[in-house]
Structure 1
Amino acid sequence: MLSKGQGKTMGSYYQLLNALAEDGRLEEAEELWNKIFSENLESLPRIFFIKMISIYYDKGMNEKMFEVFADMEELGVQPDQAIVRMVGDVFQKMGMLDKYDKLKKKYPPTSWEYRYIKGKRIRIRVKGQHSWRRRLTTVV
């Protein structure tokens, strides 16, 4: 893919990472992630963190997911609600309710989100928002 004149762009790296993950080649995806992470430490887009956390979440690799989340927090990258939900679910499953409470206090659910419709950024109220407390009682 990179030999066809596209250059080493973030988009091509993301597509390659996505393809490796969907093909089940996790070792190669981790090698690519480590390369991208070490080369672009300060300017790595949030979508790469989201992808790696979702890969580790799907495979049940909790420790590696926590490492990526810790790197994300250390670099000051704000996680979206999908990441917070995945990490919170793992904290609940592992019985780490104190860390789950810290996570929900640090990153409360948002009531607004931004979407792009016909090229314009529009603010939309989030529907179907579940309370963290209600969710905690149903899982435990």
Structure 2
Amino acid sequence: MSELFDFGQKVLAKQAFSVFLGAELTKFEPGEAELTLLVRDELKQQHGFVHGGVVSYLADNSLGFVGGSVLTDVVTSEYKINYARPAIGEKLVARASVLASGKRQAVCQSKVFAIDGNEEKLVAVAQGTLNKVE
């Protein structure tokens, strides 16, 4: 494991909400981050698929991690999410990448997928701006 990945694991462990949801950091390197979450009934809404707030959490937090991979300590200043389809599956994975970055700001994208067996379906796409904490 890299120093960056170890650092990311420590950051995630300090996020009480992430721990509560059961999120796992599965990839963290410069310009790329991946968070996964096992689906449980408590995370579903009345129609049986994962609540949009949970999908949004994964998108936002993966944006924060990937922005932090190039700027160190960041906060989300804005993001937009588009839901493509209901999140139905055993696990969710958010894969984020940096689109552009400067000294104080990074524009990043996250794609959230639902995994059911060997099938993976895109459920949401988010784009956000992360600002360096100074």
Instruction: Tell me the TM-score normalized by structure 2.
Output: 0.28
Q: Which has the higher contact order (CA 8 A, sep 6+)?
A: 2
Q: Larger Rg: 1 or 2? A: 1
More helix by share: 1
Give the number of the structure whose residues are more often strand, by fraction.
2
Relative to the length of structure 1, the TM-score reads 0.27
